[in-house]
Amino acid sequence: MVRLPLFPLPVVLFPGASMPLHIFEPRYRSMVARCLETDRRFGLIYHDADEQGPFMNEAGRVGCVAEIDRYQPLPDGRSLIRIRGVHRFRIIEGLDDSPEPWYEATVAPYEDIVHPRAEAIRTVRDRTLRLLLEVLQTLPEPPDEVPCFALDRDLSYQLAPLVQIDGRWHQSLLELRDETYRLERLDAVFQAGVDRTAPDEEEGAA
């Protein structure tokens, strides 16, 4: 277990994914400054204050460790940073008595509990990629080149940021502890996109 600064935001960061952030609130300016002095890491955890109210720092919540890989200070004290997802974590204990102005918690790694055989998961990943390619071809302007995805690591984390959908859905995907289940969730979204653009069978027969 480790002590980790927390940054609650209404977005989900996935391991391996990159995300830009604009840091303007004073306490998070201080948090970023501290991170830059140490290991450049903090925990990004999904929280939508409009729907969920104040952040409560509860035990059991799942987030992603973020590492700052680019920092651009602005003249007025704000900054632009780019973060990269490292791995998932689970809050063991919220540290409400922390002297720091930002949230902190004791956290532990949150790992998959199901590990499919390499041959089986490769088949599932191939199926998901085929569905993604079908979706891309339905776009008004299909991309000339498709990004290269690594099939030797979690494909779900690589594809999830491409899905423009409710943050709660992204969070539920992050919390699944089986790559096969995560890919099945993505398959359902991609298949729905394919079905929406498929010609109606009766029209085709007329």
CB 100 within 8 A of CB 2: no
Which CATH architecture fits 2-109? Roll (2.30)
Q: Walk along the chain (206 residues) and give the pLDDT tens digit of each residue.
A: 999 999 999 999 999 999 999 999 999 999 999 999 999 999 999 999 999 999 999 999 999 999 999 999 999 999 999 999 999 999 999 998 888 999 999 999 999 999 999 999 999 999 999 999 999 888 887 777 777 898 888 999 999 999 999 999 999 999 999 999 999 999 999 999 888 876 654 454 44
Helices (H), 55-197: 118-137, 155-159, 167-175, 179-197
What distance separates the 2 farthest-apart alpha carbons in the chain?
72
Write down the domain spans for the chain: 2-109, 118-197
Fold of 118-197: Methane Monooxygenase Hydroxylase; Chain G, domain 1 (1.20.58)
What b/e string do you get for 164-200 counting C-beta neighbours within 10 Å, with b at 16 or more?
Answer: eeeeeebbebbbbeebbebbebbbebbeebeeeeeee
**Confidence (pLDDT) at 205:** 46
Q: 3-class DSSP state for residue 86?
A: strand
**Confidence (pLDDT) at 198:** 66
Amino acid letter, 50: D
Is-same-fold flag (2-109; 118-197)?
A: no
**Confidence (pLDDT) at 202:** 46
**Confidence (pLDDT) at 51:** 92
**Confidence (pLDDT) at 151:** 84
Going by their DSSP bridges, the two strands 103-109 and 62-73 should be labelled as unpaired
